[in-house]
Amino acid sequence: MAQVLTFRDALRATLMEEMDRNPAVVLLGEDIGVYQGTFRITADFLTRFGPKRVIDTPISELGFVGAAVGMAMLGLRPVVEVMTWNFSLLAADQILNNAAKLRYFSGGQVNVPLVIRGPNGAGVQLSAQHSQSLEALYAHFPGLWVVAPATPADARGLLLTALRGKDPVVFLENAALYGAKGEVPDGDAPIPFGQAEIMRRGHDVTIISYSRMVHLALTAAEQLAQTGIEAEVINLRTLRPLDRETLIRSVRRTHRAVVVQEQWRPFGAAAEIAAVIYEGAFDLLDAPVERVTGADVPMPYARNLELLALPHERDIVAAVQRTLYRQ
């Protein structure tokens, strides 16, 4: 059985159920208690669990992420909400030099079961400092899992896995998805990291994406189908680990690939994914791998320019047509 939930409610229900189940799970973040969270993920949590488990923090990402690392080392399971992943840059030392490396430094004696979650990617007129997609930065560092759910079902299943693991997880939510609805399976159904999902079957080209861009890819695939082009759409779900096998199997069938990301083009996740395809299926490609990305500029504030800086369905359609030499 399944129920229809918003992305927000899938996260909220999963967090609440896991806090009921495991008293070691505690929440930290700015405005998550009294204010109930900027995006209402933690609405009513303070009343239900109290201030020892729902901790309103000062405006100091370095401080409260560092505190959460220490809590995790001592046996708790902290979940840190960053108001936006842009603010996580203030805590980069704790995330990259401590959380990611402590199990390695300790020879496996110390685990850091820490989840850091919050909105990643472009907002709506939030300008350059609040609209960055930081997945490639965090996916570069060994010791971190990097998760980018696209659907409410992803949000629930991947969060369950994150909350029960023993390593730090960078959990990237796109704010534009919080109101998106979808079927969520009932019961306890964690989704393993590194397991991509084929959202649409096709034989002409493989479109690969994650997070909000999956929805653009699906829309583009439906538009392409009206012209006789059947695209396969893959939702990666996680960037570290990356499900290389599913990608390569698909491209071996379709012989063409388009990779879609919201972030800037240079040194992005799409470049790594394209390299994986070249390494695993080069001899079977009938066209170069195409990348659809955001514009290589700081995000403008003006809405018309912001829209120009983001990828759109038409960009995916055009990239697919290039792989088929129709443009």
**Enzyme catalytic residues:** 61, 130
Q: ∠ CA 38-42-46 to the nearest 5 degrees? A: 115
Burial class (CB in 10 A: 0-12, 13-18, 19+), 74: exposed
8-state DSSP, 121 = S
User: Which one-letter amino acid corresponds to residue 224?
Assistant: L
Beta-strand relationship, 231-235 and 205-209? parallel
- The amino acid sitting at 295 is A
Closest CA to 290 of 249, 268, 262, 318: 318
CA distances from 44 to 152, 202, 263 (A): 20, 44, 34
Cβ-contact 253, 203 below 8 angstroms: yes
Q: Which amino acid is at 192?
A: P
Query: How far apart (Å, rounded) are the C-alpha atoms in residues 229 and 23?
Result: 51
